Amino acid sequence: MKTVLVNVVTPDGPVYDADVEMVSVKAHSGELGILPGHIPMVAPLEIGAVRLKQGSGTELVAVSGGFIEVRPDKVTILAQTAEKSESIDVTRAQAAKKRAEERLNQKTDEIDFKRAELALRRAINRLDVTK
């Protein structure tokens, strides 16, 4: 089976670096599935899970947006934050989700709803990746 090298990188450093058979991401334009030999492209990413298929297993990495650069032999994902499923602190993610929901339920002008909504989406994504 052919593979493609995948690097997931954040400003804090590399999060993932391995050869996989297939990469699935959520881009602004929709779901993308990338196999070895894919045509070169760059696309902005949504908050979501990067699915990395190797053999019978699939690893998940939670990303908070960013960009994907695809070349026939290499895929680079640049994200503001990225966490492998096993390194996500579930208790912390649940607390962040609760805080964001409380902020969204407050009906005051001081609340930045867009920021609170993004925080909620990031927390839900992190929790989904751990399941």
The DSSP annotation for 1-57 comes to ---EEEEEEETTEEEEEEEESEEEEEETTEEEEE-TTPPPEEEEEEEEEEEEEETTE
pTM of the entire predicted model: 0.80
| Helix, strand, coil percent values for the chain (each to nearest 5) | 30, 50, 25
33 or 65, which is more confident? Answer: 33
Per-domain boundaries in the chain: 4-85, 89-130
- Check whether domain 4-85 has CATH 2.60.15.10, yes or no: yes
Q: Output 124 or 71, whichever has higher pLDDT.
A: 71
Q: Does domain 89-130 have CATH number 1.20.5.440?
A: yes
- Identify the pLDDT of residue 92: 86
Q: Is the pLDDT of residue 61 over 90?
A: yes
Per-residue confidence at 107, pLDDT binned at 50, 70, 90? Answer: low
